[in-house]
Amino acid sequence: MLLTAALGAATSGVKAGDTISFPPGRFLVDHALHLIVANIPASQVNLQWPGQKAALLADSIYLFMPPVAAVATGQPYNLLDGAGMAYQLFFSELPLIGITTEGPIVDEPQVPGHFVLSHGSGQLIQADLGIEYRGGSSQFWPKKSYRIEFRNDTAWNEEQDVQLPGMRSDDDWNLLAAYNEPLRLRNVVCNQVWRMIHVPYYQSLEPDAVNGVRMVHADLFVNGTYRGIYAVSERIDRKQLKLKEYDGNIRGELYKGVSWGASTFSEASPYDNAEGSWSGFEYEYPTESTDWANLHDFVQFVLQTPKDEFLDVYSTRFVLGNAVDYFILLNLLRASDNTGKNIYIARYDAETPYFYVPWDLDGTFGIAWDGSLANITDDLLMNGFYERLIHDCRPGGFSDQLRQRWNELRTNTISSSNIIGLFAQEESLLTNNGAYARESMAWPLFEHSPAQMTYLSNWLDARLAYLDNRFNAPCEPSGIQDHGGPAISIYPNPASSHLVLLSGSPGSSLLRLTDALGRIVLEQPLAGPRNEVDVSMIRPGWYQATVVGADREFTQMLVIN
């Protein structure tokens, strides 16, 4: 009673000039976390309300405790609501997204909802949408990633293109959670690095083509709950790459690597055009006709073509400059989950060569895909395609162009100062806007520590030193055995009933699965290059799969559904 009376007295004494008033859509409130985020520049607030600021009018009246003369971006301000409950207010210049839905969000189908985005210009972007969870293993994290598709508000089944800040106009977007990434930065920065390294070889024909995605950090609220820092991301599709459209014949092609198999050029099993997936790939484009023949033929070409013929022909089947640039990116980042899985293969037009497009680059720069430290700097990541290319020692061949391109990029783009500068810029953006503090409120296990940037910087220096020596070493026409990508492949991942293991070796080995507590739940001898293992009786969860052979050991994190 005393507190309520005191608040009432304090509120009655508040003058209009003392009260900040937030326009609708420019703020969002999480009443469970007692958090208010306003996408209004602090400088604008101080200019519009120059005196002492005693109260805030948002969804209700809140009192500043104590009143403040000026506000600053990214700083928390203590408030009390009419019932005496304590709240924290942040002014942030990050885009602020609010999504409300008509029901619970699931993996599929999409749930109808509404989208509002506020950003620095004061503009509000509003649209109806469908929303669902996205990703495979990422759905096991408590903080989910989402796929959203904008819809026409008068006919929900009709798509509607919306331009989001700094990105394209489209109906289809990703909201990436980065829960497994301790800085919440790697995916954004890695895609920046890729776009600095590489442009599509057909850019002169398609000036708007982007071989990759652009991303923007934002705050996300879903149904009144603050979900934390997200990366709003374009999608890899025909429109992003400007592939030639289907005209009754297959022209542009796009395939998505989702698990190990043919995507690592380790096998070429039979395909079925009635299926939308084949041996680690999903069929993305064209949507009008499914025909795996072209991709299957290319995988077989890599696997079976004699060496001399392969060297003479491969640059007509795959864009050499793209193969070089992606190999540099793969190994610069040490993206161990992106040698075949988490990769796109595309073709611009009929009879043109294939090329790579990266995606999901958060298991990089010294961490594994699950966020654990992977402090390895002295290996070379490969797949079956690169294991052949690396032996091309001819003038102007793969190894020659790799050396030249690496040394060219090392003068600026791939300098330690430039890459760490990109990380520092994004880290400062999140820090200065108070985003890390809010992330900790939403996800108490999250802790932003300066030691993470120190680890990343030290890892990068060691990695660059190794690659400087490795990429400038004499080319070996045959016999190189260092490969960090899975010459041993385990798929599907996630698995439900069985695993397929491809060892590339006729010898015997042992598969061991251990759970999160280090307990062995399965041991099975393996013989020959291909084995199937029944895992249908194993409890769903995270496991470490280890294959132990006579000459080496291979480890991969595995999800069993």
Q: What is the pLDDT of residue 483?
A: 37
Whether 421 is covered by a domain: the verdict is yes
HEC secondary structure over 95-124: CEEEEEECCCCCCCCCEEEEEEEECCCCCE
Give me the pLDDT at residue 6, please: 40
- Strands 77-80, 61-68: pairing kind: antiparallel
Q: Are residues 67 and 19 in the same domain?
A: yes
Do 285 and 431 reside in the same domain of the chain? yes
- Residues 229 and 328 both lie in one domain: no
Give Cα 3 distance to the centre of its chain. Answer: 48
Which amino acid, residue 140?
F
Tens of each residue's pLDDT in the chain, 561 residues:
433 444 444 444 555 568 999 999 999 999 999 999 999 999 999 999 999 999 999 999 999 999 999 999 999 999 999 999 999 999 999 999 999 999 999 998 999 999 999 997 778 999 999 999 997 766 778 999 999 999 987 666 789 999 999 999 999 999 999 999 999 999 999 999 999 999 999 999 999 999 999 999 999 999 999 999 999 999 999 999 999 999 999 999 999 998 877 888 888 889 999 999 999 999 999 999 999 999 999 999 999 999 999 999 999 999 999 999 999 999 999 998 899 889 999 999 999 999 999 999 999 999 988 888 889 999 999 899 999 999 999 999 999 999 999 999 999 999 999 999 999 999 999 999 999 999 999 999 999 999 999 999 999 999 999 999 999 999 988 643 333 444 577 777 667 778 888 776 666 788 888 876 778 899 988 887 778 898 888 988 778 888 887 556 677 777 787
Assigned domain for 506 exists = yes
- Is 460 within a domain? yes
Mark whether 507 and 444 lie in a shared domain: no
**Residue 350: other Cβ atoms inside 10 A:** 13
Q: Is 248 left (phi over 0), alpha (psi -120 to 50) or beta?
A: left
User: What is the CATH number for 269?
Assistant: 1.10.1070
173 lies in a domain?
yes
Token reading at 456:
């990343």
CB 363 within 8 A of CB 335: yes
User: What's the pLDDT score for residue 504?
Assistant: 60
In this structure, the answer to whether residues 56 and 140 fall within a common structural domain is no
Counting the structural domains of the chain, the total is: 4
Domain ends where: 43, 59, 91? 91
CA–CA dist 338, 325 (Å, integer): 14
CA dist., res. 83 & res. 99, Å (int): 27
Same domain for 414 and 350?
yes
Segment (H or E) for 42: helix 42-48
Do 80 and 140 belong together in one domain? no
Residue 183 lies in a domain: no
Residue 16 DSSP class: G
Contacts of 220 (CB under 8 A, 6+ apart): 97, 99, 175, 226, 227, 228, 229, 230
Look at residues 29, 57, 91 and tell me which one is the last residue of a structural domain. Answer: 91
Dist CA 275 CA 197 (whole Å) = 35
What gap in Å lies between CA 298 and CA 323, rounded to an integer?
Answer: 14
CATH code of the domain covering residue 545: 2.60.40.3080
Same domain, 309 and 453: yes
Name the token pair of 120: 């620095």
Whether residue 494 lies inside any domain: the answer is yes
Quick check: helix, strand or coil at residue 528? Answer: coil
Assigned domain for 478 exists: no
**Residue 503 is assigned to a structural domain of this protein:** yes
Q: How many angstroms separate the CA atoms of 509 and 292, rounded?
A: 33
Nearest to 166 by CA among 205, 202, 123: 123
Number of H helices, E strands in the chain: 12, 29
- Gap between the Cα atoms of 355 and 347, Å rounded: 6
d(C-alpha 484, C-alpha 380), whole Å:
5
Which residue among 91, 119, 134 closes a domain?
91
Cβ atoms of residues 499 and 521 within 8 Å = no
Q: What is the pLDDT of residue 412?
A: 94
List, in order, residues 6 or more apart from 299 with CB less than 8 Å away.
Answer: 262, 265, 268
Q: 289 with 427, same domain?
A: yes
Angstrom distance (rounded) from CA 96 to CA 371: 26
The answer to whether 367 and 186 have CB atoms below 8 angstroms apart is: yes
Strands 281-285 and 354-358 come out as: unpaired
Q: Are residues 302 and 332 in the same domain?
A: yes
Domain that holds residue 124: 96-177+207-233
pLDDT of residue 486: 44
Looking at the structure, do residues 57 and 139 belong to the same domain, yes or no? no
CA distance linking residue 299 with residue 266, whole number of Å: 9
pLDDT of residue 550: 58
CB 538 within 8 A of CB 524: no
Q: Do 265 and 349 belong to one domain?
A: yes
| d(C-alpha 98, C-alpha 447), whole Å | 24
> So what's the pLDDT on residue 388?
94
pLDDT recorded at residue 552: 61
